[in-house]
Amino acid sequence: MPPVQSPHIGHLVALGFGLVACAWLTGCATPAQVGEYPNQQRMIGQSKAALLACAGKPVKEQTRNGLTLLQYYREAPMLEESSPVGKGSFPTVHHGCWATVVLAEDRITEIHYRFAPPAFDASNDCEAIFESCQQ
């Protein structure tokens, strides 16, 4: 008589493969390249009032060494975070982007993007923060 396998063994094997895949993806992940982007570059030289009028209130504002730092955050839309497969879908990486705007004497001197998670290129999320500023 052949040995009886538990129906849970298949689930454990699938779970094991899933964990190995996740570990491989995160272990090999390197930070996405953060470059210069059109909306980001067009904001340089704009006033704080113009920024607030189009991008809205920042998540955080602070002053350091005579510079004003405004931090904005934008998450990806929920539909962007699931991929359709057959009759269903599976979740993909939850991501977003932090944009830090540096102002000196009430003018934007630079904008830095930081992706969350760092290995996922979320530049489209940061660019969307300043989309209404370009009209």
Q: For the segment 35-77, what is each residue's pLDDT rounded down to a tens digit? A: 678 889 999 999 999 999 999 999 999 999 999 999 999 998 6
More confidently predicted of 92 and 120: 120
Range of the domain at 32: 8-134
Does residue 2 form part of some domain? no
Does residue 91 form part of some domain? yes
pTM: 0.66
For the residues 88-103, what does the mean pLDDT come to?
78
What total of structural domains would you count in the chain? 1
Does residue 104 form part of some domain? yes
Q: For 18-57, what is the HEC assignment?
A: HHHHHHHHHHCCCCCCCCCCHHHHHCCCCEHHHHHHHHCC
Does residue 107 form part of some domain? yes
Burial of 69 (C-beta count, 10 Å sphere; 0-12/13-18/19+): middle
Does residue 124 form part of some domain? yes
b/e 23-49 (16+ beta carbons within 10 angstroms → b): eeeeeeeeebebeeeebbeebeebebe
